[in-house]
Structure 1
Amino acid sequence: MRNIFLSLLAVLSLAACAEPKWAPDAAVQRAAFHSDDPPSITLFTVVRPSNGRGGHSGLLINGTQRILFDPAGTFSHPQLPERNDVVYGMNDKMVDFYIDYHARENWDMIEQTVPVSREVADMVARRAQGWGAVGKAQCAHSISAMLNGVPGFESVGGTWFPANLRKEFAEVPGVQERRITDATARKDYGVELVQPGDPRAQVAAY
């Protein structure tokens, strides 16, 4: 019983570490990006190639506009306004930048994309926009909870672990998966990086 209590206390402590952010309306409207690609939901999972364990989960939502739900993530750029963990302005170059940011020598990026209707994509987007800031170590938990009840994603149950979320997402009908390594990630996205010493230049610690 004591161990259960300590585990719950740890989870509540992590949740308290959430850092709310709220970009102004003008910045969000200016950054809004509409993709001509068909509507889709993409799960990104950062995994260790040595053992398959996951270090982080992110969700790219391509509906009326393309946004990124990056719960408890460290990814950021001055041109990308953020409201809590929802990042706006995710054009193709910024998506490549996001992938390259996470793919490195000891970490691969698994991309799983599911085609959906515009209505489903916008439903998930609204949930992401209303979710609020996510505490550390809760990326997979928040994404799996967000997808609960979304048509077509019945295979996704509640989980705290990115690797488990990836396995459940693989059962969604129509999913297409690819693995991106540090060697295969695109480097020609042309996004100006932040200056050395800027806190936003730090890499994620998995």
Structure 2
Amino acid sequence: MLRAIALSLLLPLLAACGADNVYAPMQEVQSRAYRAEGGPTLTLLTAINNRTGSGGHSALMVSGSQRVIFDPAGTWWHPTAPERGDVIYGITPTMLDFYIDYHARPTYRVVSQEISVSPEIAERALQLVEAHGPAAKATCGQSVSGILRELGFGKVRRSWYPDRIMKDFETVQGVVRHEIRDDTVDEYSPGKPALRAVTDDGLVYAN
């Protein structure tokens, strides 16, 4: 009973996690594959409520032989970034900018935590997110933290809460953290003061 009550209180907090299952044709997925310059990385992306500090959504960007975003139960969509089982392909610099801009708004900021990994870990991460399949609504935290633990990040506890996962990942040696804020209220929110550019190597921030 207590678990049911806890889950009933948690679900409204994770309202950003709630998309339908999508399976783009494999041919489209393969044709849109994009490989970023630079070494392989993993990037935990967390949407944080600016008023309460609670986490609204977790996603994991994997950059190896190609760059994808594992967006469990996410709601972002773009016609040139095909999605298959909660994995979004074709994450070019422009698509990454669109994704971040969608989540960074006056009420939410995006926390980016990037870590360099070996090519083997990056490929393992890609395999795991592709094998995961569509996540149930409001389970983004469980899905992302589970993947991170399978990759050997033992400091990250399995959790429903994106902000707790973010704090755990912060303790991993080598993680580089940035915050992206956007106080504009227009549809595309172009004026992100903390984000200077999006390049093939990832995010470039203002000093």
1:179 aligns with 2:179: yes
SS in 1 for 2:165: helix
TM-score of the superposed pair, with normalisation by structure 2: 0.81
* Alignment coverage as a number of residue pairs: 183
Paired residue type of 1:167: K
1:107 aligns with 2:108: yes
Whole-Å Cα distance in 2 between the matches of residues 58 and 188 of structure 1?
A: 20
Cα distance change on mapping 1:4 and 1:110 into 2, 3 Å: closer
Determine if contact 1:103/1:181 at 8 Å carries over to the other structure. yes
1:68 aligns with 2:66: no
Q: Could you list the runs of 5+ residues in structure 2 that have no partner in the other structure?
A: 183-191, 199-207
Range that drifts further, 50-59 or 126-135? 50-59
Paired residue type of 1:29: Q
1:19-168 alignment, distance < 5 Å: 19-151=20-152, 153-168=153-168
Paired residue type of 2:144: I
Off by >4 Å, runs of 4+ in structure 1: 5-11, 185-189
Paired residue type of 2:160: W
Whole-Å Cα distance in 2 between the matches of residues 26 and 87 of structure 1?
A: 14
Note the C-alpha offset of 1:87: 0.3
Paired residue type of 1:40: T
Note the C-alpha offset of 1:60: 0.4
Note the C-alpha offset of 1:79: 0.5
User: Which residue is equivalent to 1:198?
Assistant: none
Determine if contact 2:116/2:174 at 8 Å carries over to the other structure. yes
Cα distance change on mapping 1:106 and 1:39 into 2, 3 Å: same
Note the C-alpha offset of 1:51: 2.7
Determine if contact 2:180/2:195 at 8 Å carries over to the other structure. no
Aligned-pair Cα RMSD in Å: 2.3
Whole-Å Cα distance in 2 between the matches of residues 3 and 61 of structure 1?
A: 36
User: Which residue is equivalent to 1:195?
Assistant: none
Note the C-alpha offset of 1:3: 3.4
Identity across aligned pairs (percent)?
Answer: 38
Note the C-alpha offset of 1:42: 0.2
Determine if contact 1:84/1:132 at 8 Å carries over to the other structure. yes
Determine if contact 2:23/2:85 at 8 Å carries over to the other structure. yes
Deviations for 1:127-165, whole angstroms, at most 9, x for unmatched residues? Answer: 0001010111110110111122313x1211100000000
Whole-Å Cα distance in 2 between the matches of residues 88 and 107 of structure 1?
A: 24
Determine if contact 2:45/2:60 at 8 Å carries over to the other structure. yes
Q: Which has the higher strand share?
A: 2
Whole-Å Cα distance in 1 between the matches of residues 76 and 196 of structure 2?
A: 16
Cα distance change on mapping 1:24 and 1:37 into 2, 3 Å: same
